[in-house]
Structure 1
């Protein structure tokens, strides 16, 4: 059995994530929790909006041009993050999620750090993200990592947009 304290961040550039990566399960947990926090809880993946279901059902197709970062404890995926392909000199960080059983170990910080490194390697000048305003701990983490609140590019209410130079 793998040492549960050791977590490694792996990149998936140049190839689509595999069904064996555990990404679909992490994305399902992320989207189900988000729906619940919005006050729109659903019983399972089938109740999610189609745009989220397709990420879970076929992450290989949805994220084919992006870099998927996975946090692994042994062979088990315990966290994920997606760095989008650059657009107009920026990449976006999306779908940051850590399995609740592994929280408090610096996994989210490590994933964001790896995302910033990936973005820097791809030549972007900035990384942006959006986060729901009720996710105060996530906002605090992003601020600790140098992100600042910026003008919104998304019309959804209660969404905080942040950006950081690379």
Structure 2
């Protein structure tokens, strides 16, 4: 567990906290917003691609072997982030999301700090992530934390790939 002032970051599953439904809700909000930003707006989670719907309907299975971090403000799940299991000394950060009602309180920074600490504790040499180029605020945050743009491993148009040492 990591404490950033009011923000507490916990590992899910594993903490004795009732956040299962909250994790699904955070992932749903992340995917719905991302699809809308890509110009592929869908009305609800049923319109999402199968791989994203699977994360929402059964996050325990979708992220089995990975670590899901959840930021709590009091009893409210305010954000989430996934750290993939290491492969060849690398882990990837995925699904960083802060509920819009809780933004501006350091939640994304707390989640990223906890993710980087987790990676370092588990012998990860490099942490990487991908972010849509229009998410300039997220890119600026990643750069402040030492991430740099690198050669893409994902060739989707408008996706920026970044990495840093753990």
TM-score normalised per structure 2: 0.92
Partner residue, 1:75? 75
Q: Is the 8 A contact 2:132 2:159 kept in 1?
A: yes
- Helix, strand or coil at the partner of 1:124: coil
- Helix, strand or coil at the partner of 2:134: coil
Tell me, in whole angstroms, the C-alpha distance in 1 between the residues paired with 2:26 and 2:118: 21
- Helix, strand or coil at the partner of 2:54: helix
Within-5 A mapping of 1:29-108: 29-108=29-108
Shift of 1:13: 6.6
Shift of 1:21: 5.2
- Helix, strand or coil at the partner of 2:92: strand
Q: Is the 8 A contact 1:18 1:60 kept in 2?
A: no
Structure 1 unmatched ranges of 5 or more: none
Structure 2 unmatched ranges of 5 or more: none
TM-score normalised per structure 1: 0.92
- Helix, strand or coil at the partner of 2:105: coil
Tell me, in whole angstroms, the C-alpha distance in 2 between the residues paired with 1:101 and 1:55: 22
Tell me, in whole angstroms, the C-alpha distance in 1 between the residues paired with 2:67 and 2:107: 17
Tell me, in whole angstroms, the C-alpha distance in 1 between the residues paired with 2:164 and 2:13: 22
Q: Is the 8 A contact 1:24 1:57 kept in 2?
A: yes
Shift of 1:44: 0.1
Partner residue, 1:23? 23
Q: Is the 8 A contact 2:132 2:158 kept in 1?
A: yes
Tell me, in whole angstroms, the C-alpha distance in 2 between the residues paired with 1:100 and 1:158: 23
Aligned residues: CA RMSD: 1.7
Tell me, in whole angstroms, the C-alpha distance in 1 between the residues paired with 2:76 and 2:150: 35
CA change 1:86–1:49 in 2 (3 A) is same
Q: Is the 8 A contact 2:13 2:60 kept in 1?
A: no
CA change 1:73–1:57 in 2 (3 A) is same
